[in-house]
Amino acid sequence: CTGVWVQGHPQVLVLLLVGFSSSELVRKEKKMVANSNPVAKIHAPNFWGFEKFYWDLVKNIPDWMKRQGVELKYAYGCFPGMLWNGGRPQNPAKLHDLASTVEREILGYKKLGIELELTCNNISLLPDDFQDSYCNEILGIWEKYGLTVIVALPQLAQYIRKTYPRIRLKRSCVDWQDNNPGFNYDLLVLDQFEGGNARLLQSLDAETRAKTELVANVECIDHCPNFHKHHKVMSDLQRFGRTSEYFTCPLLKKIPLVMPMYHSTRNNHYIQPSSLPKLAKLGLQHFKLVSRCYTGQAIDSVIKYTCLPAYKSDLVARAYLCFGVPKRIGEPVDYNFLLGGEKIDDDTRKFLQIW
């Protein structure tokens, strides 16, 4: 995606959307967002359980993350036992020391320059579920820090806006209907199958672009007809505590896909890492990385979009150490490599779950 001025017509900008497989690659743009040095802001998956991985990336090997024009700015996810979560079924067991754990998680990531976003996109909730004390306790802390909550149910969005006015609300792609949702969200995740739609992106004005988030690495097949059914089933399983069950898309049995799926040329919504800074110059600065279901895919996604390609094999090896997978079978993993020889306080040790 690059911009070039048309000779003799300084008011017209021709957009070449390189990296999209969309057939409509050339579009005209009359107004540019005034930002001389924009940065593509990554919204990465799984803050809960990925503490060691993100700590190692940011604290120990920051030079490996210097992909030009890209910044690991946010991490999304949820805590165990959250009824309002709907993206992936989570352990229904609630945290006993909830308040201190949530605070520690927020502050631990703050040390890394990463802001947390809470996934509350269960679309099977009923109004009575909005009074869930566990979820409301978490949101009370979330409001204290003015953080973001991702929602897919309009009624829940209205409840949160009224009860916790300092919380920023992001509209999940699961709830995507059109470009005018009729609710004042702070950020909107575009329909995940339209990230490569040049015509749609060109139709967005500067204000809408500034609050639009694109899904960079969709894992589903293009415009999967089971996408919303999938999410509804997952929401039901979470709400009724049947977290050991799962939804398997029947199309996966019929269509061979490359894993991770976004490597497949079938997907015309895949956005190459090299395209992110170019899109940022057009006012589209927010990019979501999916892969909450599989640890390996999440690792691969974050490395692919934030780190220099030359370090990928070393990064993958370090990442698996962070998750307790030794280089050789049977060897114990010594997590002191995360500390770099430095002493850390008890809160940080608990944040990293190093005992």
| Residue 166 to residue 265: CA distance in whole angstroms | 42
**Total-model pTM:** 0.82
* Residue 155 Ramachandran class (φ > 0 left, ψ -120 to 50 alpha, else beta): alpha
Nearest to 317 by CA among 64, 116, 22: 64
Distance, in Å, from the CA atom of 234 to the CA atom of 159, rounded to the nearest integer, reads: 22
Q: Strand, coil or helix: what is 272?
A: coil
**Residue 343 — pLDDT band, cuts 50, 70, 90?**
confident
DSSP single-letter state for residue 28: E
Q: What pLDDT, in 10s, does the model give residues 278-322? A: 999 999 999 999 875 567 878 888 998 999 988 888 888 899 899
Cα(273)–Cα(295) distance, integer angstroms: 20
Highest mean pLDDT of the ranges 84-88, 118-122, 176-180, 327-331: 118-122
Q: Which residues contact 110 (CB under 8 A, 6 or more apart)?
A: none
Question: Which of the four pLDDT bands, split at 50, 70 and 90, describes residue 104?
Answer: very high
Q: Are strands 187-189 and 212-215 parallel, antiparallel or unpaired?
A: parallel
Tens of pLDDT, residue by residue over 157-200, are 999 999 999 999 999 877 655 544 556 899 988 877 777 777 88
Residue showing tokens 């976003």: 117
Q: Name the pLDDT band for 34 (thresholds 50, 70, 90).
A: very low
Residues 6+ apart with CB under 8 A from 289: 42, 43, 44, 45, 216, 217, 298, 301, 302, 305
Residues of the chain above pLDDT 90, percent: 39
Is 60 exceeded by the pLDDT of residue 263? no
What is the per-residue pLDDT across 203-252, written as a single tens digit (0 to 9) for each? 899 999 999 999 888 766 666 776 677 677 777 777 776 655 555 666 65
Q: What is the mean pLDDT of the chain?
A: 79
